[in-house]
Structure 1
Amino acid sequence: MRMIRDVLRLRLEAGLSERRAARSLGVPRSTVQDYCARFRASGLTWPLATALTDGALEDALFARATTPSSATRPLPEWAVIAQEKQQKGVTVWLLWHEYRAREPAGYSYSQFAVHYRQWRATIDPVMRQEYRAGERLFVDYAGLTVDIVDATTGEIREAQIFVAALGASNYTFAEATWTQSLPDGIASHVRMLEFFGGVTALLIPDNLKAGVTYASYYAPEINATYAEFATHYGTAVLPTRVAAPRDKAKVETAVQIVERELLAPLRHHRFTSLAELNEALRERVEALNDRPFQKLPGTRRSRFAETDRPALRPLPATRYEYAEWRTAKVNIDYHIAVEKHCYSVPYTLVRATVDVRLTATMCEILHQGTRVAAHVRRQTPGGYSTDPAHRPKSHARHVEWTPSRLVRWGESIGVATGAVVAHILEQKPHPEQGYRACLGLLSLGKRYGDARLEAAAQRAQTTGAMTYRSLHSILKLGLDQSPPETMEATTNLPATHDNVRGAAYFAASASLPLFGVE
């Protein structure tokens, strides 16, 4: 312990300050303070006795307290410690304090932590991970599928298996759906939360293609429908990292258990409906959750009741209604096109970009988070759903496009084009519903030129087909550049002619026998 002797020499013999002694020896000032304090408490005097060895000096300054051997120290029930640690706010430090309160002669904190880690190393790797009660819910799809045979046609379809597991208790849910698409996935999520009877703080998906638009560790992008689902239930979606199986070890093991213990035993069973398969899965999931753990006390169900269930957030009063989200730009006719059907919005939003929320029955339109229109969802291609309240008033001077302006634009190209524009607007229940077709004519004028557009309009007037499609077909086929078809003059034959037999001939023939037989 030469350093201790040097510290004492510089302080007690050379009279250096603590700061200068520390700087001279290249050690922290706190070390100099500690050595000097221990020297004063030891009862030794300076200078030190010649016979005092370094070992004796160390023993005098750093007296080791006698502690009971490891064999005689009481050990806690590590499984209980692990279960307690899953409670919110509970730490190893707190559990050690409670342990020492029960066992004053027990292990120090450092040894307590070491023994706890050693015990956890003997547990299954998935059980080894620590999750707070009610914090995380892992979801994924199994790699195996189950064949379902149509009893009528004999067609075979593959059912997908959706699997979920709670982080703290390993309580498991599984069901079959036809696809892994967004509608089926969201429906499985809804039934999953109802099965658990509550909501966790975090939802951990395995970067499901239907739910995660962009997989990234730092800034993942969640599908708008998936995000709305999470908002409805008051949870947050935190996708796992790509190619990071440890992030989802809990559900990976749950999937493996489902495949081995639920699906494999059913491989010879012939299912004829999705409901029949789900009934078989439901029975086996219940048995899985009631099966005792091998190295931990209790079952998945008992641990769920003790840990996760009390910590889950309550379900909302209403069930989530599946909805798809899209964006659309408002046309000059103050309508947006969704699945080839047009829905109106307030005319003040012309050319604005809006969000569209589609449910099974409704089409809701939002602008900057505020709902501006709602319509019954229609499946009629080319149809219009127009709210009269969305139409511009006649005195709205700021409205850029009006029927009269479109007609004037058509007449600037030619009389026939102006007539076609007026005809298109007159054929609609609301003139604004013809704006798109008129814009189409404007596009044709830019593509083929005003002269050809006018010629096409003249030909359309002749045939009576005064529509955008008709003019587009005429221009595409080049019919506007060929002379109009003319009907040949009809030649009227004379009433009397050598080859005309007349009525008298047919009257006489009526009295003759048929085929010469009387």
Structure 2
Amino acid sequence: MSRPRIIMRQIREVLRLSLSERRSIREISQACSLPKSTVSDYVKRAKQAGLCWPLPDDLDDDGLESLLFGANTPPVHAKPMPDLGYLHRELKRPHMTLMLLWVEYREAHPDGYGYTQFCEYYRRFADTLSPTMRQRHVAGAKTFVDFAGDTLPIYGPDDEVEFYAQIFVAVLGASNLTYVEALANQNLYHVIGAHTRAFSSFGGVTDAIVCDGMRTAVTKADRYEPVPNATYLEMATHYQMTVLPARPYHPRDKAWITDYTSWWIGNEPVMELNNPGFLGDPVT
């Protein structure tokens, strides 16, 4: 038998206060005029069901009741929740991404959540595990640059590997607009050229450029005051940009670009291409 509408409104408010506002059982009990044991039961059931706030738009009262309290027949609107703990463990593997995990999830659940909602559920789950300072990026403020840790093999006409391309990645902090280029190596000529082509692709430059300790960009790595390369500094001066080398042992300085290099090199199309390699001549 379905619970009265007023009860379902109370349950939704309990879930909002618990999942979104992070209120204690006692505070929710006082706010909703419910026994602490009842509030605790609702919260426990919500966690077991893997619910996050806000609830899915298509989850009506009947579907919510079925998820929390069970039903004789499966709810029409409820979609299978991804195993968030499994996602968190798998993302620790090299090159594993949410895109790959979502593809795996949809293969098992063709009627499951779309990629955007899938990522949102995981993001909220991860936020509850390890609270960190959130970085806010202003449009036009910073460009983050780095090389991906992995390389891509470049094959010659005889199917032999001629060299391994270095993957240069540049990301605009506010919009996430990304530029990726494969280079023959990380010498100064190629690095400066990749920067100029990235700026051209973006259609402009930002106030500052944050480089993750690239050898061609930073002459002296220092915990407190890294020293940028003179030629690299001249390039930045030409574009009226400030060079901000990411400091060693300060992962928050470079979290943005690290995420995107990991995403790009681990993205499914790239992983597929990484096996056969590319056919071409070395760039000199």
Contact 2:153 2:278 in 1 (8 A): yes
* Aligned with 1:264 (options 250, 267, 271): 271
1:228 aligned to 2:234? yes
In 1, Cα distance between equivalents of 2:208 and 2:237: 12
- Tell me the secondary structure at the aligned position of residue 234 of structure 2: helix
Q: CA deviation at 1:172?
A: 1.3
- 1:248-293 per-position Cα deviation (integer Å, ceiling 9, x unaligned): 0101110111011153121233411169xx9xxxxxxxxxxxxxxx
1:212 aligned to 2:218? yes
Return the letter of the residue paired with 2:148. A
- 1:149-193 per-position Cα deviation (integer Å, ceiling 9, x unaligned): 111584521000001111112221111000011111111101111
The residue aligned with 2:205 is 199
Return the letter of the residue paired with 1:216. D
**Structure whose alpha-carbon radius of gyration is higher:** 1
Return the letter of the residue paired with 2:265. E
1:188 aligned to 2:194? yes
Structure 2 unaligned blocks of 5 or more: 1-29, 33-53, 55-123
- Tell me the secondary structure at the aligned position of residue 138 of structure 2: coil
- 1:289-344 per-position Cα deviation (integer Å, ceiling 9, x unaligned): xxxxxxxxxxxxxxxxxxxxxxxxxxxxxxxxxxxxxxxxxxxxxxxxxxxxxxxx
Contact 2:208 2:241 in 1 (8 A): yes
Q: CA deviation at 1:246?
A: 1.7
Q: CA deviation at 1:127?
A: 10
Return the letter of the residue paired with 1:227. L
Q: CA deviation at 1:126?
A: 9.5
- Tell me the secondary structure at the aligned position of residue 129 of structure 1: coil
Return the letter of the residue paired with 2:275. H
Contact 1:139 1:163 in 2 (8 A): yes
Contact 1:217 1:240 in 2 (8 A): no
- Tell me the secondary structure at the aligned position of residue 164 of structure 1: strand
The alignment yields a C-alpha RMSD, in angstroms, of 3.2
Contact 1:126 1:253 in 2 (8 A): no
- Tell me the secondary structure at the aligned position of residue 160 of structure 1: strand
In 2, Cα distance between equivalents of 1:176 and 1:272: 13
The residue aligned with 1:37 is none
Contact 1:126 1:249 in 2 (8 A): no
1:273 aligned to 2:284? no
In 2, Cα distance between equivalents of 1:159 and 1:255: 14
Name which structure has the greater RCO, CA cutoff 8 Å, separation 6+: 2
In 1, Cα distance between equivalents of 2:250 and 2:281: 32
* Aligned with 1:166 (options 161, 166, 172): 172
Q: How does 1:306-455 map to 2 (within 5 A)?
A: none
Return the letter of the residue paired with 2:260. A
In 2, Cα distance between equivalents of 1:149 and 1:70: 66
Q: How does 1:23-102 map to 2 (within 5 A)?
A: none
In 2, Cα distance between equivalents of 1:126 and 1:177: 34
* Aligned with 2:152 (options 110, 134, 146): 146
The residue aligned with 1:244 is 250
In 1, Cα distance between equivalents of 2:31 and 2:134: 25
Q: Percent identity at matched positions?
A: 39
The residue aligned with 2:24 is none
- Tell me the secondary structure at the aligned position of residue 140 of structure 2: coil
- 1:394-437 per-position Cα deviation (integer Å, ceiling 9, x unaligned): xxxxxxxxxxxxxxxxxxxxxxxxxxxxxxxxxxxxxxxxxxxx
In 2, Cα distance between equivalents of 1:181 and 1:212: 12
Structure 1 residues 119 and 132: alpha-carbon distance in aligned structure 2, compared to 1, 3 A threshold = farther
In 2, Cα distance between equivalents of 1:127 and 1:139: 21
Corresponding pairs, count: 163
